[in-house]
Structures are given as C-alpha cells and as structure tokens.
Structure 1
Amino acid sequence: MTESRRRTRDKESKPNTRLKDLVRSAGITHQQLANGVFDEAKADGCTDVVPPHRTRVSHWINDGERPPHPIPHYLARFLTRRAGLANPLSPADIGLDSCPCHVEHSPPPSPGAPGLEGDPTKRRTAVILGATALSSLTAVDAARAYTQHATATDLGPDDIPDLEVAVHQLGSLYSVQPPEELRAKASADRRRAFLLQHEQRHTIEEGRELARHAGMLSVILAWIAHDRGQAETVVAYCDDAWEQGKQAGTMEVSAWAEDVRCTDALYDNRPFDALAAATRGLSVAPPRSPVAIRLTSQLARVHAKLGNKDKFENAARKAHLYRDNIPLHGTGLFAVDGVRIVSYDASSYGWLGDHDRARKAALEAINCYRGIRGPLTAPTRLAIAQLDLALAYSSLGEPEAAVHTAREALAAGRLVQSVRGRAKQLNRKLRIEHPTHSEVTALSEEVRLLTA
C-alpha cells in the first residue's frame, strides 16, 4: 500500500466511539448502514456515492478511517432517522466534524434553479455542490482536499492482487484442465473485476490495473470459447480485451487478444481474418515481448495457409531468430517457447505442400512435447503436432502410419475444437487419398463418433 493511500485510509489511529455507540444503539448492522448511506444519497439526487461495502463501514467505525465527502452528511441523516431522534444529527455529532467538505454547507438548489434544467441524473448538481464547498476553503485546504479525493479508494488491499493471482492461476492450469471446468472460475473472476471497476470507488492508477487484469481475464475467456467452438463469443471477448488494454494503457493486453482471434480464424478456415488479427496485434505488441514472438510465428503460418511462400519464409526466419533467446518449453497459456515455433512449422509446411519438411518438423515437435513433465505438459499442442504428422504421412503414401499417429492424438482425451477440426481435415484427406484402405475406413468412423 502506498504512503498516500495509507494516509487516506488511516486518518485516525483509534475507533470512532461516537459512531460505534450510535450504530449499536440503533441496532443496525454494518451492511444496513452501508445501504442506508446509499439510499440517502440517492434520495438526495447525489449520483457520486456508490454503495460502500460493509468492510468499508467497519473501517469507519473500528479503525477511525474518515469517509470522504459527502458521506458523513448521509451517515448522520440515516442514523437520525433510524434512531427516531427529534433533533437531527450532524457529522460533528457522529465524530466526523473535521471533514473539509460538507453538503450542509451548500444545500442543493431547488428543482427549478437556473441552469439545472435537463439534468435528470443530477451529475451537474453534484459537481456544483462540490465546487461550491471547495470555493469556501483556503488554497492550502483545497489542495489537500484535491489530494484526499485523488487518493481515496474503496478497494481493499487484496482486491487487485487477487485478480492478478486469478489470471496467473488460470493461465498456468489452462492446458491441464478441461475448458468447461475453467469457464466457471474465469467468468466469476471477470464479473468480479467488472464490479470493482464500476461499483467501487478507486484511484486512476487502480482503474488502470483493474482494466489490465479484466482484459487478461477476457483473453482467457476467449481461449475457452475457442476451445469450445464458440466463434461469436471469441470475437466478443477479444473485442473487450482489446478495449480494456487501451483503457489500461497496456496494449500488450490488446495484442494477446489478437493472438486468440488469429488462432480462432485460422482453425475456422478464415485465413484473411487471421492475417488481419496477426498484423493488428503486431502493430501494438511490445518489441521482442512474448506476445510479439507468438504473433510473429502466427503470421508465418497464416502466410503458409494463404500459399504465400516468400512471406512465410520471411516471417518464419524472424520467428526462428527468437529461438536462441527463449526456453524450449514454456509454462502456461501465455508462454512462448521454441517448440511452439517448430510445431507451427509442421502445419505451415503441410499447407505449402512440402510434406517431407512437415514430417520432420512434426516429429521434432512431438519429441519435445513428450519430453515435458509436470505443469509444462501441453496436450493440445502435442495432439495438433501428431495430427500434422498424420497429414504428412498420408501425403507421403503411408496410410498405416497416418492412422496410427492419428489414434495416438485422439486418445489424449482433450478434444478441444482445434483438435476436432484438424482430425476432420485428416479424415477427409485420408478418404480422398486412400479411399479403399480398411484402416482408413475404420478411423473415419472413429473420428465421426469423437467429433460428433
């Protein structure tokens, strides 16, 4: 916690005994007090007050934390009503008399006040109230009030770190858990980020951090949608992640969104959409960052899919220049590693019709993936490499080897959309190139059942 935030939250070192006694005598809970403050503000037409959390109320009462303007006014008014007092309480009566700005100093203008017509949300009214209150302060007190409001926050000390941990855990576990199991947690974490962004007061710095983590959670949800074959949902989450990255001032998040968009378009046989996504992502990716390396490799295989051999070789050359400076095996959804580049080569050479090089690249990738242990396992990437190898075997006139390798890929169990799509592609190729082979006929039925 920064020193400025600590000063904002810890205005006093002892409990507010006046407020504590009044709450106890009124027989209300901290959550009821929080709701009451919001209701009073809403009835007064003040839209700048968001519903405080009960833990924030506890800080006001037990830790001496001073709520920001205009909450002391609404606290006093709510307690007056709940306690049934004949004389209204003031902020001073509840131990909050030193707050620099009070609503009672500047009563709201009447509904017919000049210049406020057409202000149904009362936003301009709230601004006028704040400006009026500040105008009565000395320059020193006004400057301190500005600082207080700039550093005021309703976020707890663990709110943003918890989101960061959620992104890390989801990314780390992604390849070893079914997308269906990850979806519920990722969706819950994304909703939590939204509520913190839009229903809790926070600083500008905290807002950027919330947007960054929200964007990465949307990237994860886009991957989940891709693996579940939900193309429209992929686009929606990628759009959100791109915008969150812009709001956070961290375009690396936006680049990760284009990495998902490119993959989904490529497996959905939309190579021009994939090309647009890879190009757009590279335009904002930090140079030599993991996402820039991933997108460079993506661009290479997109050009291969389009049959642009020269452009493929140029992009692939750039991708391979990174291999000396990155690990052979990477960890998690957002890792970049050398074996991924080799695996992309296997797909690319197959699309370009160079089946011998495709076979060699696929075998190299498979050997690397099989050597991975523990949390570094990549079952989806291994299955894709095996299916690329099977495609190469089919084109090289080895249907038995193709069928055997395909069965190994399909036995892995993690039949996400990309694996199903590549298996269907292999099935069509085998039936065209080896229509009378008995093993091909048997595999065709297996693929049909597994991908139904």
Structure 2
Amino acid sequence: MGTGSRRNTALAHWVGAAQVSYGALAKELRAAAAVAGHHDVHPERSRITRWINDGEQPRPPVPELLAATLTRLCRLPRPLTPADLGFHGKPRTPALSGGWQPQAVVASILTTTRSDAVTDDTTPTTVPLLSGPDLLHAVQPWLHLPDAELPDPTRPGRLGMSDVIAIQRTTDAFRTLDNAHGGGLSRRAVVGQLHHVTELATHGRTSDEVGRALFAAVADLASVAGWMTHDVGRHAEAQHYFFLGLQAAKQAGPSGAGIAGHLLNCLARQANHLGREEDALDLVQAAQYGTRKLPPGRLRALLATLEARCHAVLGRLPESRRALGVADDALAADNPDTTPTWAAWFDTAEHHVTVGVCELIAAHHDPARAPRAVEMIQSGTAHRPAERTRSRAFDHIALARAYARCGELEAADQATATALDHFGNVTSTRVADRFRELDHELATNPATKAAAETRDRIRAALTPTSGDG
C-alpha cells in the first residue's frame, strides 16, 4: 500500500454522505470484493481509517470496488470514480500530452462532467489549482502541438452545421443567464449540456468542417461552464473546465484560435481575481501570441486591456498605458458583424470601465489618476446594458472605490447602495469578494459617518441570514 501525507477529504466526504461507520464500510467492501471474486481483499476498520486520515492510496481493485460501494450506499444517479474519492497515483494535470488528442479530450470532458453531476458545493475538489510554471506548462501544448486529425465516429448519426448552430445558440442563452443572474443558478444545467454536446463528437458528421466546428462549440460551452464554476467560488474545478475547453479548441484547428484565446483570457481573469497577477500576465501574453494572426478586433482589445490591468497592479504604469492604446486601436477596428458571441460582452461600456479600473489601480501609485478613474467608470456604467446585472454590480463597486480614493465618501456610499441592489439579484461569490475588498479599503480611510454607514451596508449584505442554510 502507498502512503500519503495528508487527510483524504474527498473520501471522508463520501463516507459521511453514505452515513456508515468505518467498520460498516469495511464490511460492505469485503462483501463487494467477494462477489467480484477478489477474495484477497478484506480490509478492516483500521485500513479505512488510514485511507482517510493518512491519505494512504490502496492498490487496485480496491479504489474501483470502493467507488462502486459508495455509489450504492449514497444512492447516486451516476457512478462515482476512484478520482472522485481522491485516489490518484500522481496529481492530475491537464498538461499531459496525451490529453490533447481528440479521443482523450472527449473522454476527459465526459469524465469531468459525469463526476460533477454527482457532487455538490460541499464536495472537496479532486483537481489541483495550478499556478506559476505548472500553469504555463499546462497551456503550452495549445501553442506548439500540431493539429490532429479527427478520428472516425464511433457511433451512428448525422450531424450537420445546423446542429452546431443550434448548440451555439443554446450556449449564448446560458451566457445571457450567467450575465444576468450569476453562475449559481444555471451551472448544473450547463455542465449537463456540455456532457451531452461532447457525446455528439463521437457521432457521425457530414464533413470534417462540421467536426471542427463542433469542437469549437464544445470549447465555447466549456468556457461558460468554467466561468460559472469560477463565479460560485470553485476555482480549481473552474480552471479545469477552462483547460478542457482549450484542449477542445485545439481540435477545431485554425478556426479554434479565437475561442482558445478567449479561454486563456478566462484563465487570466481568474488568476487576476485570485491575486496572481504574474500568472495572469503570462496567460494574456500566451493568448496574444497564439492569436496574433487574427484580424484586430474585440479579442485583441480585451486581451490588451487585461494586459494593461496586470501591468498597473505590478506598478508598470508606462506599459499599462501602452497596452490601453493597443486596446483603443483594436476596438476601433472591430467589425460588429463578424464579432463572435463569446466576445460581444467586450463593448464600449466594458472597455471604459476597464480603463477606469486601470486608472484606479494606477492611483495607488499616482493619486492624481483617481478623478480619471471616476470619469471612465461613470462613462462605462452609463452605457452598460440593463440586463448585465452582475457587471453593473461590479461597475458600481469599482465606482465606489474610485470615489473613496478621491475622498468623496458620500458618493461612495451611494454607489455602494446601488451595487448592493444589483447584488441582491445575482448569485456570485466574485461580487461578494469585491465587496470585501471595498470594505477593507474603507477601513483604511479616515473614520467618518459616511464610511461607517457604507461598511455597515456591506457587512449586512454579506452576513448570511438564518434562512440561508
């Protein structure tokens, strides 16, 4: 038996969900092993204890038997896998070269979505949250691996471009729901749709072009699943969905470059949210390199503004200003008639708010930049579509921070109140995180009645009520 160095929280979770003692589970496992003909498998209670408390990794066929036993005891609609129980010989990472072949990509997405369907938000993650060199290593194959030929279908069927277009429209509908209500309400439905659409990649198709387009659609849907998962605060799983989407985009060939760039943008924005600006900058620059042959437009603009934000956080203000100039030029060259739906969110409103946030960050180094931050964020909020509820909450939090930086605490309180109104209509841990940052910043300001009232509003909104469970 291999030994581990830490508690297996995933296995502990599922044993708890089964509501059985370690001794009772050992008895169930012995019975299952006997039925399967594995008469040499006879664990005792102490062995279960070591698997959980010490992180021991049992040898096959025990992980498979234990997964089947816990699936039955928990009465789950889909089977658990050894990975769901935290059993990995080595930490799983999407960086393995074999994972970039079409069949492997399909298998990875189906396994991930199937596992996700039997878990809830209390289930410990079984995938690592990558950072630093590991994160860059995981995305490098997209840049350097040659495009693979799509395999012959393994199932009967006849998929055409009309089917791909219908999938894209469904993805757009989910994206609209996410923007309006946050990721919490629709995430499960998107995961189920991703599973279904990925299965279609094994069916017959009318042409290679359709097959490539289907993988691009899978990549786009994975980006929405990842973003919703990020929005509910499950960051390791979200990152994993983004990786899977990037691998699917690779199967789309040259036509998948745009959606791949968007997925790297998602990974970078997640890294930024987690305070890993160097990682975010590396990811943005990888995306810029991989999409350098695409015509200028919104993708180039949104990547440039994210680069500018990273530079601003790192105190590189001239580089930030240069990147914002690139974004201005790229957005001016955009053709709205050819803008893909996954890039449509980066409109003039988003651009202005992002410039304002860059100015706000720069104001930490140069306080004279704060009024410009207020001006640009106000301009963005004035043009923000009403249905973009979550974005409007972010806008007003940023505006409150900019007002506070300018010393206009009553205006900051009004902006916070508006943000809280929008927050009441979305399910998003990311918005809550931004409110906590605002609260922290207000705590560093002079103690005034306006600042105290604003902080009271924030803390009241972030405090769970007795009915929240």
TM-score (normalised: structure 2): 0.58
Which residue pairs with 2:304 in the alignment? 296
Q: Give 1:428's match in structure 2, choosing from 428, 437, 440.
A: 440
Aligned partners of 2:371, 2:335: CA distance in 1, in Å? Answer: 26
Distance 1:324 1:162, change over 3 A: closer
> Are 1:380 and 2:390 counterparts?
yes
Which residue pairs with 2:248 in the alignment? 244
Secondary structure at the residue paired with 1:411? Answer: helix
Is 2:222–2:242's contact at 8 Å kept on the other side of the alignment?
A: yes
Is 2:222–2:244's contact at 8 Å kept on the other side of the alignment?
A: yes
Q: Offset of 1:167 from its aligned partner?
A: 2.0
Aligned partners of 1:310, 1:443: CA distance in 2, in Å? Answer: 34
Which residue pairs with 1:342 in the alignment? 352
Please give the residue correspondences for 1:268-307 in structure 2 after superposition, counting only pairs within 5 Å. Answer: 268-285=274-291, 286-307=294-315
What is the letter of the counterpart of residue 340 of structure 1?
E
> Are 1:443 and 2:454 counterparts?
yes
Aligned partners of 1:333, 1:207: CA distance in 2, in Å? Answer: 20
Which residue pairs with 2:361 in the alignment? 351
Q: 1:203-249: CA deviations, max 9, x gaps?
A: 54443222111111100111101211221122101111111111111
Please give the residue correspondences for 1:180-329 in structure 2 after superposition, counting only pairs within 5 Å. Answer: 180-198=184-202, 200-202=203-205, 204-249=208-253, 250-285=256-291, 286-326=294-334
Distance 1:177 1:398, change over 3 A: closer
Aligned partners of 2:391, 2:252: CA distance in 1, in Å? Answer: 31
Is 1:355–1:392's contact at 8 Å kept on the other side of the alignment?
A: yes
Distance 1:441 1:415, change over 3 A: farther
Distance 1:393 1:327, change over 3 A: farther
Secondary structure at the residue paired with 1:154? Answer: strand
Q: Which runs of 5+ in 2 are unaligned?
A: 1-151, 364-368, 464-469
Distance 1:342 1:331, change over 3 A: farther
Secondary structure at the residue paired with 1:155? Answer: strand
Please give the residue correspondences for 1:71-82 in structure 2 after superposition, counting only pairs within 5 Å. Answer: none
Aligned partners of 2:459, 2:261: CA distance in 1, in Å? Answer: 36
Q: Offset of 1:420 from its aligned partner?
A: 1.8
Is 1:362–1:385's contact at 8 Å kept on the other side of the alignment?
A: yes
Is 1:326–1:337's contact at 8 Å kept on the other side of the alignment?
A: no
Secondary structure at the residue paired with 2:186? Answer: helix
* Percent of pairs with identical residues: 19
Q: Give 2:381's match in structure 1, choosing from 352, 360, 366.
A: 366
Secondary structure at the residue paired with 1:229? Answer: coil
What is the letter of the counterpart of residue 437 of structure 1?
T
Which residue pairs with 1:146 in the alignment? none
Q: Which runs of 5+ in 1 are unaligned?
A: 1-148
Aligned partners of 1:314, 1:393: CA distance in 2, in Å? Answer: 25
Q: 1:261-307: CA deviations, max 9, x gaps?
A: 11111122111111112111112222314322211111111111111
What is the letter of the counterpart of residue 334 of structure 1?
A
Distance 1:192 1:159, change over 3 A: farther
The RMSD of aligned alpha carbons is: 2.6
Which residue pairs with 1:105 in the alignment? none
Which residue pairs with 1:9 in the alignment? none
Which residue pairs with 2:82 in the alignment? none
Distance 1:432 1:204, change over 3 A: same
Secondary structure at the residue paired with 1:180? Answer: coil
What is the letter of the counterpart of residue 332 of structure 2?
D
Moved over 6 A (4+): none
Aligned partners of 1:238, 1:156: CA distance in 2, in Å? Answer: 25
What is the letter of the counterpart of residue 154 of structure 1?
G
Q: Offset of 1:331 from its aligned partner?
A: 10
Q: Which has the higher contact order (CA 8 A, sep 6+)?
A: 2
Distance 1:191 1:178, change over 3 A: same
Q: Offset of 1:191 from its aligned partner?
A: 0.4
> Are 1:410 and 2:420 counterparts?
yes
Q: Offset of 1:433 from its aligned partner?
A: 0.7
Secondary structure at the residue paired with 2:201? Answer: helix
Is 1:225–1:234's contact at 8 Å kept on the other side of the alignment?
A: yes
Aligned partners of 2:288, 2:406: CA distance in 1, in Å? Answer: 35
Which residue pairs with 1:92 in the alignment? none
What is the letter of the counterpart of residue 322 of structure 1?
A
User: Which has the larger displacement, 178-187 or 350-359?
Assistant: 178-187
Secondary structure at the residue paired with 2:444? Answer: helix
Secondary structure at the residue paired with 2:198? Answer: helix
Aligned partners of 1:365, 1:391: CA distance in 2, in Å? Answer: 15
Q: Offset of 1:160 from its aligned partner?
A: 3.1
Q: Offset of 1:252 from its aligned partner?
A: 1.4
Secondary structure at the residue paired with 1:402? Answer: helix
Distance 1:153 1:425, change over 3 A: same
Please give the residue correspondences for 1:8-87 in structure 2 after superposition, counting only pairs within 5 Å. Answer: none
Q: 1:139-196: CA deviations, max 9, x gaps?
A: xxxxxxxxxx89x952355643432222232234432234223213211210012211
Q: Offset of 1:401 from its aligned partner?
A: 1.4
Distance 1:293 1:307, change over 3 A: same
Q: Give 2:407's match in structure 1, choosing from 397, 404, 426.
A: 397
Aligned partners of 2:460, 2:309: CA distance in 1, in Å? Answer: 29
Is 1:347–1:358's contact at 8 Å kept on the other side of the alignment?
A: yes
Which residue pairs with 1:41 in the alignment? none
Q: 1:36-63: CA deviations, max 9, x gaps?
A: xxxxxxxxxxxxxxxxxxxxxxxxxxxx
How many pairs were matched up?
Answer: 296
Q: Offset of 1:347 from its aligned partner?
A: 0.9
Is 2:378–2:399's contact at 8 Å kept on the other side of the alignment?
A: yes
